Amino acid sequence: SHCMGVIPMSLVIAELEDSIGTITMNHLRKHNALNEILIEEIIAALKHFKKHGARVVILRAPPGAKIWSAGHDVKELPLTRRDPLGWDDPLRMVIRQLETLPMPVIAMIEGGVWGGACEMALACDMIVATSDVSFAITPAKLGVPYNITGVLNFMNATSRMILREMAFTAQPISAARAERLGMINYVVEKEELEQRVHTLAQQIKQNAPLSISVIKEELRIMESAHSVTPRMFERLQGLRRAVYDSQDYQEGLSAFLEKRKPQFTGE
């Protein structure tokens, strides 16, 4: 459709033009931390684009952003005795929306990508990043027991040794290294970013949307085809509960909020 439309929102700018939907995460004061409102608006934009026949979606921050997204809003994580990443957590919801959207989503990245935002970027269908970008998997830094679907999403994005290095050190890796590892499609200089993403979007747009959507859904189903028995699942959930009930989990969150280094004791 040729409808040009900007949907009025507060933390996100959503535009649909010539069958390309663009979502700009625009909550700069909080470095686009993935809070409930920002996620709701991203999901609303994705649904609007699907309804209006967009062929491809671009997910970005404003041009020149220093942080693409600081990840889950730490202030929205439960302090204890509740799963920090349960089924209805906003981060889980937006990742499921991105994965089940019938059209491809290109993550157009400038600035740092942290924690849950790293999983959100990897839940997109392609990633184009500028050379300043870094990706960090941060649960171990905060004492968060990541959830099993999230870990599977990371597993589908990189190799055994790299995922363990990123998860256990919680250190960012550069876009150049991520590209060498095949985690992202392109690293480009800032001035090339718009053009490179636009070229990909145009190439996708001229192909058959029904074919693309069924291939995307086949990939999603096959990537998640792992036989985990109820017994195995419940054992992992029990292990996760012990972590989010731990002192270390509370220490991780408090240290972040108090802007100090955490002292983890293993309790």
CB of 206 to ligand YXS, least distance (A): 36
Instruction: Note whether 144 binds ligand YXS by CB under 6 A.
Output: yes
> Would you name the residues annotated as active-site residues?
72, 116, 146
CA distance 108 to 120: 12
Instruction: Note whether 74 binds ligand YXS by CB under 6 A.
Output: yes
CB of 134 to ligand YXS, least distance (A): 9
List 139, 184, 204, 246, residue binding ligand YXS (CB under 6 A): 139
List 75, 180, 190, 235, residue binding ligand YXS (CB under 6 A): 75
DSSP one-letter string for the chain: ----EEE--SSEEEEEETTEEEEEE--GGGTT-B-HHHHHHHHHHHHHHHHTT-SEEEEE--TT-SEEE--B-GGGS-SSSS-TT-TT-HHHHHHHHHHH-SS-EEEEE-SEEETHHHHHHHTSSEEEEETT-EEE--HHHHT----HHHHHHHHTTS-HHHHHHHHHH---EEHHHHHHTTSSSEEE-HHHHHHHHHHHHHHHHTS-HHHHHHHHHHHHHHHT-----HHHHHHHHHHHHHHHTSHHHHHHHHHHHTTS-------
CB of 54 to ligand YXS, least distance (A): 27
Q: Which stretch binds ligand YXS (CB under 6 A): 54-62, 123-131, 142-150, 161-169?
A: 142-150
List 98, 109, 127, 142, residue binding ligand YXS (CB under 6 A): 142
Q: One symbol per residue from 89 to 118: x for binding ligand YXS (CB under 6 A), - otherwise; what is it?
A: -----------------------x-xxx--
List 49, 68, 135, 146, residue binding ligand YXS (CB under 6 A): 146
Number of residues that bind ligand YXS (CB under 6 A): 21
CA distance 134 to 177: 9
Q: Which of residues 14-73 bind ligand YXS (CB under 6 A)?
A: 30-31, 33, 67, 70-73
Q: Distance of alpha carbon 170 from its chain centroid, rounded?
A: 16
Closest CB to ligand YXS among residues 160, 259: 259
Closest CB to ligand YXS among residues 130, 138: 138
Q: Can you give the binding site for ligand YXS, defined by CB under 6 A?
A: 30-31, 33, 67, 70-75, 77, 84, 112, 114-116, 138-139, 142, 144, 146
